[in-house]
Every structure is written in C-alpha cells, then in structure tokens.
DNA sequence: AAATAAAATTGACAGTGTCAATATAGAGAC
DNA sequence: GTCTCTATATTGACACTGTCAATTTTATTT
C-alpha cells in the first residue's frame, strides 16, 4: 500500500522542532534574565535537551543569536503594524504612531532590542545561512514599515532616502537614549515634539 | 627627623597604578579583539599581574567596564572638542562639526561606543562608586559639548531641551545605524543633509 | 623594629562554548 | 518486515571565564 501524502515536513527525530524551541527559549531567557542569561546551555536545558544538542541546529552561539535577532524583528514589525492600524490615516499621525510603536518595542523588550541593533556588528563569518537569511528578511520587513510611512513626505530635495534616513535616525536615537527607565529623571520631550515638520509631497 | 613633604599620593604597593593599567588594557583589548576580548583575566595578563589582582581595584568585571565607559566618554568629548575647534564659528557649522565628530568617534571606536551606549543598561548594583562617579562625570562632559552647540537654536516653542533632545537623538541614531562599514552598500545621506533647518533664537 | 593595612598571588569552583566519540531514532530501499 | 543510512541527541572532555577564600608579599604607620 502506498503511504501517499506522507508528511514531507515531518517532525524530525527526537525533539520535534528543536531549532524553534531553542529560539523561544533564548527569547525567554533574554526577557527574564538579561543579556548574560542567553546561554547555549541554558537554552538547551530550557528546551529539555542536552547541552550539546543545539550544535545540530546552530553553528555555535552566534548563529542562535542571529536567529533570535530575526525573530525579534518579526515582533518589532508586528508592534509597528499594530500601532499603525490603531492610528488615523493622516500621514503625520501615521508616522508618529509607527515611531511610537518603535519606541514602545524598545521599552518593552530592552535586551532584545539591544541585541537586534548591536552596533559593533556581530561577525557573520561562520553564521548559518538560515539564520542570516532570516535576519535579513525580517529586518527588511520591519524597516519597510517605517519606510512606507515616510513616503508621503519630502525632505531636502525630494530624495525620499533623506526622509527615511532622518526619521529612522531620529526615532532610533530617541529609543536608544530615552526608552530606559533610568533616564526618567529628566523630563524628556515626547517624540512628536521633536519630529520636525515634514512637508508633504 | 621629619620626613616632611612625603608623597601623599604615593604610588601604591606593587604595581604602581594597576587600576589605570587595567583600564588601558581593557581599552586596548576592546579595540583589537572586540567586545568578547574584554576579560578580567586578559586585562590582568596584559597589565602583568595575576588573574585575581583586579579584585583589589574593581568590584568585579562590571565595575571595570563602567570605568572603561567613563574613559571612553573622555575620549569622546575630546573628539567632539577637536571637531569644534577646527570649524568656523557659525552656529550651524559648529553643530554639524560636533555631530560629525560624534559620528567619527562611533566609526573609529565601534566596540567602545557600543559599550558606552549599551541600551539595556548595565545594572549598577554593586558597581564601585569610583567607577560610577567617573562615568557620570565624563558623560556629562561629553553631553555638555553637544548641548552647548544647541543653545543658539530654537525648536518647537523655545524649549532648549527640545532642540537638544532632537539633535542628540538624530546624531546618535545616525551614528548607531550608519557608522558601520557593513551599511555602506546603500548610499547614505550625509548628516548635514538630514539635519533639519533650525531657526536661530 | 613591630604592627597593621593594602595589594598581589595561588588555588579552587561552578559556568561557559565547543569539539570528538558514541548512541539512538527515523527515513528510505529492498 | 528488515536493513541500511543519515539526522539527531548524548556523554565526556577541554580550555577559558568570573569570583571567592586562604595566603603571601609589600608598604605604611606606630
């Protein structure tokens, strides 16, 4: 008898889907224990496997981190999409809402946000292609939301790249510098107060 | 006989000035080997002492890192001061020069810059008071340069805090996002192109 | 010169990432 | 159904890390 339509994407061998489980474990450790709690061995333990099991799915800790960064960008994009959908359609209102989503994500997921936008970029030598591709794709998705919201505007000579770059720099710097509880000593202006008046196209 | 005028700030015991040497070693390791090369044991080895010697000067690795952040802010301030002194006195020219110094520092000292502006703030519980104070003071010094350059301008209702916050966010985000060689694929606008036109007071 | 405090050393311990060797489960071929 | 073979997971080891306790060395003070 032909066992037709047998699952081609069958759950692998022992665990089921360890790669996914390790990413989720990493996210959880990051949220609860901070950056230094993100450990290959802790992820493995949280997923219920031995300490060396992750090696079958990630070429070392860095590859897992890159996969987590990718996952973070998906959550990031979702936060901005949600903010956009709850705001009115006026271009400036939309842009502000998305930026506030940006900032809220940074505030809510400090450690993940920091990992995602690490400045001294992770050396991608030796990182899994899967993780790298996921990160690139998810990064483009999240950036695309901001980019789209900049399209109605014009800034410095009609080059839309100028607007994108200005807005992205502004919101990213604001999120980095002020989306921390520690900075609450000073009365920081809201983002809408520092966003320059952008003329519509 | 009175041994008057004996050095009150005498060089301590064995090493001479191990605290300073450890900070310098940390800076060097950071520049040459990246973030993960900054290790208590490597610093100790580079300073020529045993692996546990740093404990006499820093309450753990985090305290050393905070001291290194402080030192970084001094270099940061120096870079911006130099940029300022080499530019003409026109307010906007001054501001742009200082911001370009900001960006140049980020580009030149990627890992140090990242450490200095780590988003998920280092837990300062248990950090040496000396390191904490150094960092606060040096941070105020570097920020003061930018702040001063914002004074001639007015933005959104005469509140100078708005101008500072806008400019700082903008330059910091720009430095974070684009002061990396990896981002050179796209043609990024220069900073002066994205700095909005700020009316003078 | 003796006593005291500061600084550095040594040794140990629990974690960490990573590698090699081994065991095991599932997939496909017959 | 059985047999291979590959993917996956385990175990054990290694070097390296931060940190602690005990000890020794050095400098200052009395």
Instruction: Let me know how long chain A is.
Output: 201
At B33, which CATH number?
Answer: 1.10.10
What does the alpha-carbon distance between residue A17 and residue A19 come to, in Å, rounded to a whole number? 6
Please report whether residue B124 resides in a domain: yes
Question: Cα-atom radius of gyration of chain B, to the nearest Å?
Answer: 20
Please report whether residue B50 resides in a domain: yes
pLDDT in tens, chain B (201 residues): 333 323 334 445 567 899 999 999 999 999 999 999 999 999 999 999 999 999 999 999 999 999 999 999 999 999 999 999 999 999 999 999 999 999 999 999 999 999 999 977 788 999 999 999 999 999 999 999 999 999 999 877 777 889 999 999 999 999 999 988 665 567 899 999 999 999 998
The B-side interface with A (CB below 8 A) comprises 34-35, 106, 110-111, 113-114, 117-121, 123, 155-156, 159, 161-162, 165-166, 168-174, 176-180, 182, 186-189, 193-194, 196
Q: Alpha carbon B39 to chain centroid distance?
A: 19
Residue A183: the pLDDT is 56
Residue A121: list chain B partners with CB under 8 A.
180, 182
pLDDT in tens, chain A (201 residues): 333 333 334 455 567 899 999 999 999 999 999 999 999 999 999 999 999 999 999 999 999 999 999 999 999 999 999 999 999 999 999 999 999 999 999 999 999 999 999 977 788 999 999 999 999 999 999 999 999 999 999 877 777 889 999 999 999 999 999 988 665 567 899 999 999 999 998
At A105, which CATH number?
Answer: 1.10.357.10
Measured CA to C1', what is the nucleotide nearest B54? C8
Measured CA to C1', what is the nucleotide nearest B6? D28
Given A57, A89, A108, the domain boundary residue is A57
Residue A9: the pLDDT is 41
Which residues of chain A (135-154) touch nucleic strand C at CB < 7 A? none
Please tell me whether residues B74 and B53 are part of one structural domain.
no
Please report whether residue B39 resides in a domain: yes
Q: Alpha carbon B87 to chain centroid distance?
A: 22
Please report whether residue B49 resides in a domain: yes
Q: How far is the CA of A131 from the C1' of C15 (A)?
A: 26
Please report whether residue B180 resides in a domain: yes
Using alpha carbons, select from A92, A80, A52 the residue that is nearest to residue A193: A92
CB-nearest partner of B120 from A110, A173, A194 = A110
What does the alpha-carbon distance between residue B190 and residue B33 come to, in Å, rounded to a whole number? 29
Measured CA to C1', what is the nucleotide nearest B51? C9
Residue A7: the pLDDT is 36
Please tell me whether residues A46 and A74 are part of one structural domain.
no
Please report whether residue B6 resides in a domain: no
Residue A120: the pLDDT is 73
Give the single-character DSSP code of A123: -
A173 near A119, Cβ under 8 Å? Answer: no
Give the single-character DSSP code of B199: P
Please tell me whether residues B131 and B180 are part of one structural domain.
yes
A163 near B106, Cβ under 8 Å? Answer: no
Please tell me whether residues B96 and B166 are part of one structural domain.
yes
Please tell me whether residues A79 and A43 are part of one structural domain.
no
- In which domain, by residue range, is B43 found? 15-57
CB-nearest partner of B119 from A110, A169, A171 = A110
> In 10 A of CB A88, how many CB atoms?
8
Please report whether residue A2 resides in a domain: no
A84 near A96, Cβ under 8 Å? Answer: no
Please report whether residue B153 resides in a domain: yes
Please tell me whether residues B175 and B80 are part of one structural domain.
yes
Please tell me whether residues A53 and A74 are part of one structural domain.
no
Please tell me whether residues B23 and B104 are part of one structural domain.
no
Using alpha carbons, select from A37, A153, A75, A171 the residue that is nearest to residue B177: A171
Which residues of chain A (52-81) touch nucleic strand C at CB < 7 A? 52, 55, 60-62
Please tell me whether residues A86 and A175 are part of one structural domain.
yes
Q: How far is the CA of B50 from the C1' of C11 (A)?
A: 12
Please tell me whether residues A85 and A161 are part of one structural domain.
yes
> In 10 A of CB B129, how many CB atoms?
9
Q: How many domains does chain B have?
A: 2
Please tell me whether residues A122 and A81 are part of one structural domain.
yes
Residue B183: the pLDDT is 56
Please tell me whether residues A121 and A22 are part of one structural domain.
no
Residue A12: the pLDDT is 54
């Amino acid at each position: 008898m032909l066992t037709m339509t047998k699952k081609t994407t069958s759950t692998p061998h022992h665990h089921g889907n360890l790669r996914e489980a390790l990413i989720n474990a990493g996210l959880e450790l990051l949220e609860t224990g901070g950056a230094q709690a993100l450990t290959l061995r802790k992820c493995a333990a949280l997923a219920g496997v031995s300490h060396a099991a992750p090696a079958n799915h990630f070429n070392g800790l860095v590859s897992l981190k890159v996969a987590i960064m990718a996952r973070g960008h998906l959550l990031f994009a979702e936060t901005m999409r949600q903010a956009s959908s709850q705001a009115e359609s006026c271009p400036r209102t939309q842009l502000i809402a998305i930026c506030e989503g940006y900032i809220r994500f940074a505030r809510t997921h400090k450690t993940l946000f920091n990992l995602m936008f690490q400045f001294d970029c992770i050396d991608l030598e030796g990182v899994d292609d899967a993780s790298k591709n996921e990160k690139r794709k998810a990064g483009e998705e999240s950036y695309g939301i901001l980019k789209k919201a900049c399209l109605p505007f014009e800034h410095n000579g009609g080059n839309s790249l100028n607007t994108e770059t200005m807005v992205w720099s502004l919101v990213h710097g604001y999120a980095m510098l002020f989306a921390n509880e520690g900075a609450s000593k000073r009365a920081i202006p809201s983002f809408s107060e520092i966003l320059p008046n952008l003329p519509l196209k």
